[in-house]
Amino acid sequence: MLEIKVLLVDDQLDQLESFIVNAENKGLDIFEVKSLEEAKEVILNKKNHFDAVILDVRFYLDKNSTKVGQKAYQEAVTFFNTQELKFFTFTGVKNLEYDESFRETYGFDEDDSEFFLKGKDDNRLIERIKEFVQNDAVGWKVRNEHYELFKVCSDQYLGQHAEKELITLLSIISDDSDVNSNLEVYLFNPIRKLLEDLFKALFKRNLIPLALVPNGQVRLGPSNRFCAGFDVNGIELNQPYFPKLIANQVKFILTVTQPASHRSSLDLHLELNTQNYLLKGVLYQLFDVLCWFKSFIDSNPQPNNWRELTSQNYKGMIERDEFGNYICGDFLLNKAFVLEHNQEGDEIEVTQFEKNTSPTTRGKYPYFVKYYL
């Protein structure tokens, strides 16, 4: 079962070592901070990363503070409620939950089950957190149900920040009631962001060149073509990364999720077909690509495995093979263009070409001429 991620805010973490070990042995993944400032930084940078929070009643307000007090707790209550993060109070101050002024200030009832005493209620707190998360925490439920998919959300692959987009997209599978109100926000932006993370991860491992990620901005279409084995800007992989199926899936995903100004046909389709099967289909294709990506990275692909195609122009004579194809050395020519402008035996200079993708001719003629003189 997936570990439950818990943020622990306490100024005396050294006194909680046995509790932390006990909690982690029982399925909690504890991340520790001593101040509210640190807690805010962690939450705001990794929203949806934690399933619950454990709060001491007294801890530091700022990371450089030297005094503890309940002001930090008071602000923390407001902050975590705003972030819609469930918190559990864990204190060493006995009978504090029965203090009338404390109850009035923080809204605790005498029988409040979310108030726990250190040393006495350690196991009860752990079990209560597990009960809450497994029954009520939507993010954890999604991650647990799609455990294998969320393995890509580690620094070895896409990074932990990818969890936010994945949870957003997976939630649409079960409830798509809001998605059509703003496709960019709910669907297309998170999808493109995950694909950008994928190609950035490839770049980080020197698997694609800088030309595809200029200034940290991913060129999605060219990156997909490059990984499929096509020449991009005169650079070509020695061995394609993407199988044809993966490359076609990425191409389709990009076609559907491209910016609004380029997808009038999609908008018309969605007006006529309101069941969102197309959009959910795109999501499943994305999830398949991400799972394949993890397997690809696990295979330890060779870095810098590309070559620059020669920029020197090729000079030769137009010939015709036994199948009627017009050729010039290893280059296949456009038959209609040759018939209109040239004849067999003419000398030409090839100035621009691309990889020949025709399954019937590419084995013999690896390049297709775009321009010649």
pLDDT tens track for 251-301 = 999 988 876 545 566 667 666 666 677 888 899 999 999 999 999 999 999
Higher pLDDT, 203 or 214: 203
Q: b/e string for 324-342 if b means 16 or more Cβ within 10 A?
A: ebbbbeebbbeeeebeeee
Helix then strand then coil, % of the chain, to nearest 5:
50, 15, 35
Give the pairing of strands 115-117 and 331-332.
unpaired
Q: What are phi and psi of 271, to 5 degrees?
A: -65, -35
The 8-class DSSP code of residue 356 comes to -
pLDDT over 50 (residue 112): no
Q: Highest mean pLDDT: which of 17-31, 38-52, 82-96, 105-119?
A: 17-31
Mean pLDDT estimate for the chain = 85
Mean pLDDT of 221-244: 91
d(CA 17, CA 119): 12
- Enumerate the β-bridge partners of residue 33: 9
d(CA 8, CA 76): 12
- Residue 261: its pLDDT value, please? 47
Q: What is 182-241 written as a DSSP string?
A: -HIIIIIHHHHHHHHHHHHHHHHTTSS-GGGSGGG---HHHHHHHHTT--BTTEEESS-S
The string of pLDDT tens digits covering residues 180-195 is: 556 666 688 889 999 9
Give the pairing of strands 319-320 and 347-355.
unpaired
Give the pair of three-digit tokens for residue 323.
């199948």
pLDDT over 60 (residue 7): yes
Under the banding of pLDDT at 50, 70 and 90, the label for residue 72 is confident
Q: What is 258-289 written as a DSSP string?
A: S-GGG-HHHHHHHHH-TT-HHHHHHHHHHHHH
Cα-based angle 361, 368, 254 (whole degrees, multiple of 5):
95
